[in-house]
Structure 1
Amino acid sequence: MTEDFLQYLWKHKKLELTDLKTTKGEELILQQVGLHNTRQSGPDFFNARLIIKEQKWAGNVEVHIKSSDWYVHNHECDPMYDNVILHVVWEDDMDIYRKDNSVIPTLQLKDYTDQKVLTRYRKIIQTNNTQWIKCSKQLPAVSDFIITNWQERLFVERLEKKSILILELLKKSENDWEAVFFKLLAKNFGLQINGEAFLSLANSVDFSIVRKCTNSLSSIEALFFGQAGLLENDSEEEYLQILRREYSFLQNKFKINREGVLPFHFFRLRPSNFPTIRLAQLAMLYFRNHHFFDTIIRAQTVKEFYDFFNVSLNGFWENHYTFEKKSKAKTKRLTKSFVDLLLINTIIPVKFVYAKSLGKSPEEEVFKLISQLSYEKNKIIDNFITLKVPVENAMHSQAMIQLKTMYCNQKACLKCAIGNYLLNGG
């Protein structure tokens, strides 16, 4: 038994409501369960309305497994619990007193719980831990209608989660959207392994300096490679010497340094994902597009973005992956799959937050964009497909990643639409 489940029973009135009585035998009529408190402190439900022994009560409700948990959690010392009008417990093992020594009325849930709900709960929540997710056996029978509606809500949840970093960056940059977009794009150019390092690089220089360097490819490359610490090696390659001289000039001109920049990693990366290649591609993008943010806000179709990100590296990088070693000549382009990741993790979240900042509803545009992208391929998505979950595009895959990480892994079945559907006998 868990407090989450008891809160679920109370919140959704999964009780035999016709003849409720407190543990003292007083008649209890439930009018409003109250507002569920999802914060860390305070009673579980605010502003409940009850009638106990013909006396109307308005106040808060606290939920515990046992009555004695009131004292285990030291609620008697916390003034936030002074206005509790009902103690809802699974098992009443002792009386709980207010400061005036009156007993707080208690409802013992095990006397009124719908046994069918309890059986379903045990079947889902208390299932064998070896299953990939708790409802693995029941999930294939859940209708596509239930799942697809939940997927849309999960996708928006995931966007809201990604919005947190964007809003933090906006605050630090005094609402400079171009600067924020640069930082977020840089972070996602680094992918999972180098994402934080790329972000630290973007944070190490004021974006006004980046703007001034975009008129010259060698300047923007020198700025990125220099701040990344990738110009510090023994190679005497002419291209490297040019970048070193340019970076030295930029350091003196703008008084910049590498303080706070994290180390960049090459280990276990495919050569096409080496930070040298990704930084060169990022530099080429900003050299070609001086008003990057305005361009991505205006673009409406996936094709526009594919065309926009269609950049390739030539010259030195045509036959190099690092500064030190020459390689077989190969054009280094941003692949479609990489652009898809940028759309999912950078462009769509930025469009979402920007539209909301203007008071517009962003859902229609972002749903249209994300639905045109292929779903991501990873173990989470593979497992959901095996369980017959509909996954047809990137909106679905983003939703299922949100479901697995924020619900299944957290055992938050009671907050999940699928979990609620199964508990209700669906």
Structure 2
Amino acid sequence: MTTDVRVLRQTEWDAWYDNLVRAFGGAPEPSDERALEKALTEYDRSIGVWDGDQVVGTAGAFTFRITVPGGASVPAAGITMVSVAATHRRRGLLRSMMRRQLDDIRGWGEPLAVLTASEPAIYGRFGYGIATDQLNAEIDTSRVRLSVPPGTDDVRLRYAAPADVLDACEAVYARLVPGRPGMLARQPGWERLQVLDSEDHRRGASPLQCVVAERGDEVVGYVRFRVKSEYGHSGHEGVVLMEDLEGLDLAARAALWRFLFDLDLTSTLRTRGRPVDEDWQHLVSDIRRCNLRLKDTLHVRLVDVGAALEARTYQTPVDVVLEVEDAFCPWNEGRWRLSGDPKGASCVRTEDPADLALSVRELGAAYLGGTSLASLGAAGRVRELRQGALVEASLGFSSAVAPWLPHGF
């Protein structure tokens, strides 16, 4: 078999995307989502594999900036739309696309690559580590009560058409991005992803609804949600499906959560993709009846170890020599001296003896501060070569705020 890996041409997009859809089961995408995916595609950063005139592999890379510990916004390639035709499995196509992508990303000067995985076991062999989790919940609002802080009643709520207040909601989101590692600075066009509302997106629930929180003339928060009407022996048992909720302060967030808890004719609130340390968990009367579940989300790959580790700050002072293993991107292999604190960092090549030995996958997992180097060490995935170095590094890499990916890509 002879295959050709090359950059996608605009005239090839439909065939390229159809291969992706087929690889994920073949169910057609809603027309509005397909059109948006096409509009957001960066053709010069998208590749495909062709077998003759047939597309048999796809992969893309969005241009993103991601918040890292310390608040800096760092360039990151958002790996997306990865697929291999079922007829061409076990022929090295995925590996060839990963190879091409990481070489390209290095050439673009972007220190990080990030992705969400349909199957988490796929990308570890290419150096990606699971760096963030998301929290899903199914809250029994007929039995769980919410305690709200002072000031909640000063927040005014009003319904608004989602498209009409999209700019105001995006302004709230943009103000929050620097405060949490893992958040993406949304590029123009990406805001449309938040208000897709075809029948396929509704899945039997209501059209997308939006409520904004205001204080004076300022929008300080918003929630987007749907309501699914359900009935039981006792009457209405509707379900609130929260899509997105953001607020600039606790009172704004509490007002929006209380609104969702109190919706008439409903008894369940389902949330997905929320930060694992979100404050509402400390306001509920019974956390057990919130049925919490964790799921991996963002996988991080350091493309340039030195530049990536210098781009973030460190919770406590660190001065460690890292022996990095990276067979897939050998330019990262070797010893790096990382010196950093809450004000900044440097990471340079060194010949000094190593304090810790780990692969680039573990660095990716720990990079945003959500995975402890100490826990990776306990699992045997980080080796301590100087006593005390693991605790020192683990504390330094930690983040006071849990990293979170607000939406997929």
Q: TM-score, normalised by structure 2?
A: 0.19
Larger Rg: 1
Higher RCO by CA contacts (8 Å cutoff, separation 6 or greater): 2
Higher helix share: 1
